[in-house]
Structure formats: structure tokens, C-alpha cells
Chains A and B, each alone.
Chain A
Amino acid sequence: QVRLQESGPGLVRPSQTLSLTCTVSGGSIGSGRYYWSWIRQPAEKGLEYIGRIFSSGSTNYNPSLKSRVTISIDTSKNQFSLRLNSVTAADTAVYYCARVLSGSYYEYFDYWGQGTLVTVSS
């Protein structure tokens, strides 16, 4: 059974960098069939796709966040990470990591972490 677990600080100061790690168990993050993604959700609001990374290291980012986001992967640790620079209160949200299963005509999140709340506040 694949499991994903987010970890990182729950409180980040404005203008600082938000850093989260997703640890994957029950499967290899280096498998070429999956993307590894970050999604966030502010309280009482909808879902926002932040970005994703393939095992090769190639990435896709949400254009609205692209200038501030970096997603990286460490196959030796079976982890992938999110860095979001210059945060403001608007970045306060529950952050989810998720696995994307991709095929010839389909692509969907099949496993999710439980989510971690990150609050941006001084």
C-alpha cells in the first residue's frame, strides 16, 4: 500500500520560504510511471494545483506561482519537496502531496498525503 506523508514547519514568517517534504512509502518514487505533485487548499476554499515533478526531475508549475516555486525529488530517500519563496498570508493553506498515475488517455491523483496546515504569520 502506497503512503505519502507531508512534513515541515507549520508556521512560516512572511517573506520567508515555505519548505515541505513528502515521504513516500510502499513504492519507489523512481518508478517512471508517476508524477509527484503538490496541491494546496486555503481554509474554506478550493483546491489549487501547485506543481508536479517526474522521476527524471522534469517539472511543471502553476503559472501563477511559477516565479516562487521549486519542486525537487530525491530518489535515494524516496522523497520529493516543495519550496515556496517570499510567502504572504495568502499562502496559508493545507498543503497536500499526491501521486499522479498517468497513462495514454488518463491522468489522476491516486494516492494523497493527509495534508499539513502551513500558516504564514509573524
Chain B
Amino acid sequence: DIQMTQSPSSLSASVGDRVTITCRASQSISGYLNWYQQKPGKAPNLLIYATSTLQSGVPSRFSGSGSGTDFTLTISSLQPDDFATYYCLQYSNYLGTFGGGTKVEIK
């Protein structure tokens, strides 16, 4: 099984800050990684797929990068609507696995 280690598990940041969240896979997953945003009481929402492709309608302040085992989600300038929990998901094998999540809170 492929394990996904996401860090940090939580962070505090201010509006306008640059935020970086990382996911590390236990083995190479090529570029088969997505990022989701989840707000309380809601289903997750797709932000980025295939490592770096921005889903339609998602603001350009979100970006993704990486390859192999190490991947990054960056929010270039944190906005009030971005305070949420973020999950990575690898899909290189038959059934994907999620990272543990990163909760982004207001400083």
C-alpha cells in the first residue's frame, strides 16, 4: 500500500501570507496526485489534479508542483475563504490513498 504523509497537520497564517503544504508518498507515484479543500460540514472540493492542473473555477493563487514522491500545494496569497482543511490524494494504484490533512487556521 502507498502511504501519504502530509505536513504540517495544521498551521496558522494571516491573510496575504504565502502558504505551502507538502505530501510525501512512501513510493513513487509519478504525477498522480490531487489536492482537495474541505470546509466544515461539506464534501471536499477538487483544487488541483495530476500534480499541477488547476481545476476549472479554482483561483490562480492555488498551485501544485512535484514529482516522484514529493509534492507541494502553494497558496500564493491566503484569502479569508481559504481557511479550511486540505488533503492530498494519490491515485497511482488501483485505489487511492489520502494524506492526513492540513488544517489552515487564522492567525
Residues in chain A within 8 A of chain B (CB atoms): 46-49, 51-52, 60-63, 96, 98, 105-110, 112-115
Given contacts A96-B43, A105-B50, contact A47 B101 (CB under 8 A): yes
Contact present for A47 and B49 (CB under 8 Å): no
Task: Name which of B15-23, B76-84, B91-99 contacts chain A.
Answer: B91-99
Residues in chain B within 8 A of chain A (CB atoms): 1, 31-32, 34, 36, 38, 43-44, 46, 49-50, 53, 55, 87, 89, 91, 94-101
Contact present for B43 and A114 (CB under 8 Å): yes
24 interchain pairs (CB within 8 A)? A46-B87, A46-B98, A46-B99, A46-B100, A46-B101, A47-B44, A47-B89, A48-B98, A49-B98, A51-B95, A60-B94, A60-B95, A61-B95, A105-B32, A105-B50, A106-B49, A108-B46, A108-B49, A108-B55, A108-B91, A109-B36, A109-B44, A112-B43, A115-B43
